Amino acid sequence: MKRLLILMTFSLLSIFTCKAYTDLSVSEFKAMLEKDQSVQLVDVRTPQEFAQGHLKGAVNIDWKADDFARKVLAQLDKDRPVMLYCRSGRRSAEAAAAAEKLGFKTYNMKGGILAYEKAYSL
């Protein structure tokens, strides 16, 4: 009985802690961008943050906007991978999880553009 309870506890924890998107380091993110020309690059920061500088080829879909899901569905192709980033990686992780639920295969850049700028020049 005790083993069954422990097994059920771990099973439930794995269900609730499982994330569908993939976290990538800055170097993995950059390598994937360079290797796979089919990827869709999305900056989920505010338009003001985006205007201050962004990765080449990125489109801006603000995670905090009320119409985030509508814009993702309207602007992105579900048959192509989506790579997301923000300032530090927190918003893009949330946005990646939301986009996964909408049917997209997503990748989040850990550390965001701050980590990217530290490793590479824009």
Q: Which two tokens stand for residue 83?
A: 């790579």
Residue 1 has pLDDT above 90, yes or no: no
Question: CB-hemisphere CA count at 13 Å for 17?
Answer: 6
Task: Reply yes or no on whether the pLDDT at 109 is more than 90.
Answer: yes
121, exposed or middle or buried, with CB in 10 Å at 0-12, 13-18, 19+?
Answer: exposed
Domain contains 69 = yes
Q: Is residue 3 part of a domain?
A: no
- Is residue 87 helix, strand or coil? coil
CB 80 within 8 A of CB 111: no
Look up the CATH number of the domain holding residue 77: 3.40.250.10
**Cβ distance 30 to 120 under 8 Å?**
yes
Q: What residues act catalytically? A: 86
Q: Which domain holds residue 60?
A: 20-119
Name the pTM for this structure.
0.84
